[in-house]
Chain A
Amino acid sequence: MDPITAMIGIIVGGIIVGICVHFIPASAVGAMSASTGIATGPSMLSTGCGLAGLYAAGYMIGESTPLVVLSGAMGSALMIICTMLLANTICAFGTGVAPVAGSYDKDPITGWRQKPFMSPGTDGHSMPTTTALSGIIGALLGGAGGSLVFVSVYEMISPILEHTTAITIAGMVGAGVFLINCVLPAYVLVGKSEGMTDKKMKLLHKTFVSCLIVSVITAVFVYASVVVI
């Protein structure tokens, strides 16, 4: 991969990482079963699932780019489905509530009505089917984006550095992109998102622009440090 293609890879990966946060259902008040979504902030949850993807991509580095990217995507998806299934289990048997979404009345996939099962005074709890599917889509995007950044940085720096050092630096840049680009959407999501059925999806363009700017800066910085200096 030539440096310019790698730079484009870092930019595209960074934007995808930012967009993924909109798809992952998460809400801090979910910890009190008072809102739909995984019970933590969207930014930190997306970072956690993206890093699980990076860990999975670490087994594949050295293979072709699609393999590394898909491995990262599937690692992320595995993390998010494990978390959602077990979070639903705690809601079902630990607090005694059924999964209910606040953003739609009938589940678009199963057709099940939501409002009758919503506990009074809350805005939903845990993840019904459509919301969970949105989470899986988000995790696939996040894992793929993070792995794309990882493999792009690795390809850019591997000719000039030792193999182990190149992997470590690429992994740190990949993790850093998660810590930056997953936090940017927090300004539009304000601590709560129900995934693709949420009205905040209309604010996706703001995330896109902010992540584009940040990713360009990151990519230019990496390019400059590797190629120019």
Chain B
Amino acid sequence: MEPVTLTLMIGVGLAGVIAFIAGIIEDAESDAGSSSNPNSQVQLAPQIGHIITYYDKAIAGEPPQNGLWAAGACTIALLLSWRFVDLGMGQYYAVFFAAVAGAAVIALVQGCFGIFAHISRITSMAAFKQPLYWHALLTPLPYSMGLCFLTALLLTLLAFVASGILGNSFAPPLIALFMGITLGSIASGSGDIHYGAERLYQHLPFGSGIAISNQGDIDLKGEYGFRNSVDTPYFCMRFGGTITALAFGLLIFLDGWSRLFTFAGRWTSIILEAVIVAILFIFLNRLEKYTRDSYGPYPGQEDA
């Protein structure tokens, strides 16, 4: 096997693994901060008389927010890595330590963002007698910052792998921005269903979407005492987070994998990706058939 192909294969595997872990962590970060679409339910709750103790930092959409963290961390990391190389450090060490420093700075920025976002969100609910509980802010804040640190670090490393090993033409900060926004929209579109439709409404029967009339009637009690935002990723990471990770990991891995072959010249990756899309579409159709057969129609709606 040629050394170039071996390096590419290692790069593809590494990118897939980093993307997979980043997917889990990013979904947990958004769940901890209620920073995606289910935050509408958290905001509705005080309006129907529920006093909440959730951490709510949803003042920006999850994709641009995540893109900002990733691009910011990667920009700092790129600049620092040049400086570290100038000081005589090895290239790979320089990138890794610079990525850690960049992610640490961004975690602090996210902490400031989270504090002000939560305070402004909660005080806007004062008309509905929602108090500003400090424990609801201070308990999940370090946790959320830690998850943000890991997400920014992993996306920065992913950007460097895509640029340095896989040969993407874009500069690493731009790749980090693309990956951040893409991961944010994947996590928002898949993982958050587990938070919004299941975790927030565990008192409703399993096997149904949340009817409009029930929206806002979220769970207030946790496994132990009042539910806070540290409990949420504990539940969602086991299924919602893993599935998000699978979606993002598959995207990065399959996109890189399709570029390892050359049987049709430069068209190879396009042909392979078209085949993969067709196969996944068939999977989607079979999953639909399976769920329809397994669950059946709702009682009383058989002839609707």
Binding site for B on A (CB under 8 A): 26, 28-34, 38-41, 44-45, 47-49, 51-52, 54-56, 58-63, 67, 70-71, 74-75, 77-79, 81-99, 110, 112, 115-122, 125, 127-129, 132-133, 136, 164, 167-168, 171-172, 175
Q: In whole angstroms, how far apart are the Cα atoms of A121 and B186 in the complex?
A: 26
A32 close to B196 (CB less than 8 A): yes
Per the bound structure, the CA–CA distance linking A51 and B63 in Å amounts to 11
A17–chain B nearest beta-carbon distance, Å: 14
Known: A28-B37, A44-B188. A86 touches B208 (CB 8 A): no
Residues of B within 8 A of A93 (CB): 239
Q: Which listed residue, B61, B266, B273, touches A74 by the CB 8 Å rule?
A: B273
Contact indicator B274/A74 (Cβ below 8 Å): yes
A74 to B290, CA, bound (A): 27
Whether A74 contacts B214 by the Cβ 8 Å rule is no
Query: Could you say which residues of chain B place their CB within 8 Å of the CB of A30?
Result: 37, 189, 193
Q: Please give, as numbers and ranges, the residues of chain A lying within 8 Å of B188 by CB-CB distance.
A: 31, 39-40, 44-45
**Contact in complex: A171, B197 (CB < 8 Å):** no
- Note all chain B residues with C-beta closer than 8 A to A49: 182, 185
**12 pairs across A/B with beta carbons < 8 Å?**
A31-B36, A31-B38, A49-B185, A74-B269, A89-B287, A94-B193, A94-B243, A95-B206, A95-B209, A120-B301, A128-B288, A167-B170
Asked whether, in the complex, the Cβ of B40 is within 8 Å of the Cβ of A83, the reply is no
Given contacts A31-B196, A79-B251, A168-B174, A90 and B185 within 8 Å (CB-CB)? no
Instruction: Pick the residue among B62, B197, B284, B297 that contacts A85 (CB under 8 A).
Output: B284
A122 → B minimal CB distance (Å) = 4
Min C-beta distance of A204 to chain B, whole Å: 22
Question: Would you call B118 an interface residue if the criterion is a C-beta within 8 Å of the partner chain's C-beta atoms?
Answer: no
Stretch at the interface among B81-89, B99-107, B119-127, B275-283: B275-283
Q: Is B211 an interface residue (CB 8 A)?
A: yes
Contact of A117 with B292 in the complex, beta carbons under 8 Å:
yes
Q: Does B194 contact A (CB under 8 A)?
A: yes
Contacts of A167 in B (CB 8 A): 169-171
User: Which residues of A lie under 8 Å from residue B210 when comparing CB positions?
Assistant: 32-34, 122
The interface residues of chain A, by DSSP majority, are classed as helix
Bound-state Cα–Cα, A216 to B180, Å: 29
Contact B270 A70 (CB under 8 A): yes
CB within 8 Å for A74 and B181 given contacts A31-B193, A82-B247: no
Inter-subunit contact A39/B298 (CB<8 Å): no
A44 contacts B185, C-beta separation under 8 Å = yes
Expressed in whole angstroms, the Cα–Cα distance for A125 and B288 within the complex equals: 12
Find out whether the CB atom of A59 lies under 8 angstroms from the CB atom of B269: yes
Closest to A77 in B: B277
Give the shortest distance, in Å, between B93 (CB) and chain A (any CB).
24
Q: How near does chain B come to A205, taking the closest CB pair, in angstroms?
A: 27
Complex CA–CA separation, A176 to B223 (angstroms): 45
Complex alpha-carbon distance, A187 and B303, angstroms: 37
Q: Which of B243-271 contact A (CB under 8 A)?
A: 243-244, 246-248, 250-251, 254-255, 259, 266-267, 269-270
Determine if A127 and B171 form an interchain contact, defined as CB atoms under 8 angstroms apart.
no
- Asked if B7 lies at the interface with its beta carbon under 8 angstroms from chain A, I say no
Chain A residue contacts of B270, Cβ below 8 A: 67, 70-71, 74
